Amino acid sequence: MKRFVVVGLGNFGSAVGEALHQAGHDVTTVDTDEEAVDRIADRVTRAAVGDGRSIEVLRRVGADHADAGIVSTGDDITASILATLALRDLGVSELYVKVISHEHARVLEQMGVTETIFPERESGLRLATRVANRMILNFVPIGPGFGIQEIAVPDPWIGKSLRDLALPRKYRVTILAIHDMLQDEIEPVPDPDMPIKESDTILMFGRDEDLARLTKLK
């Protein structure tokens, strides 16, 4: 179990805090909005009303013992920077900050945060990828030039096995899992000799250009 502190309880901060708590971690959330704090109070370890820019407030809720901090202060860039500074001054080693622009991200990266997150941009990129090719069900970029992609099974693959298809050799991709959509069952280590069904989707990792080659199959 790790300890997390989440500053800012908009949609993003609330979702992260709740997900971390459901995963079994200790989660403290802080926001100036009493209603937002009340909404999440029974879904995290502790929820406090307070100014996440204040070192004293953060220390009072135990942020100085957190393993990581998540800052999500909406459109208030100044609050984002000050909350990040406060957490860093308290010795929180891992800092993940939601940003609203490239300039916002640049400032925080100069401060040495662990990662900046631009949810709207990332969601837009994933949607654009899916809309451009309906074969793609999901796409997550993983660093420059690499991604994880979930695709519907092309017609020529139905009834064949992963061994028959030899995707790592032919397309230089790694198969991570097969998802049976009808049964809603995921096989994280697929049997290479199991015939692929029309109801399956395939989750794979590789270079963007290699993944793109697969989406041209019919």
Instruction: Label residue 20 exposed, middle or buried (CB < 10 Å: 0-12, 13-18, 19+).
Output: buried
Q: Can you give the pTM of this predicted structure?
A: 0.67
Q: Look at residues 59, 84, 117 and tell me which one is the last residue of a structural domain.
A: 117
Q: Look at residues 117, 143, 160 and tell me which one is the last residue of a structural domain.
A: 117
Per-residue pLDDT tens over the stretch 86-113: 999 999 999 999 999 989 999 999 999 9
Split at pLDDT 50, 70, 90, the class of 131 is low
Q: What's the CATH code of the domain at 105?
A: 3.40.50.720
Q: Are residues 201 and 152 in the same domain?
A: yes
Q: Look at residues 102, 117, 132 and tell me which one is the last residue of a structural domain.
A: 117
Q: Are residues 151 and 73 in the same domain?
A: no
Contacts of 149 (CB under 8 A, 6+ apart): 136, 138, 139, 140, 203, 204, 205, 206, 211, 214
Look at residue 126 and tell me whether its pLDDT is greater than 70. Answer: no
**Domain membership of residue 182 as a residue range:** 122-214
Split at pLDDT 50, 70, 90, the class of 42 is very high
Q: Are residues 109 and 133 in the same domain?
A: no
Q: Are residues 110 and 138 in the same domain?
A: no
Look at residue 208 and tell me whether its pLDDT is greater than 80. Answer: yes
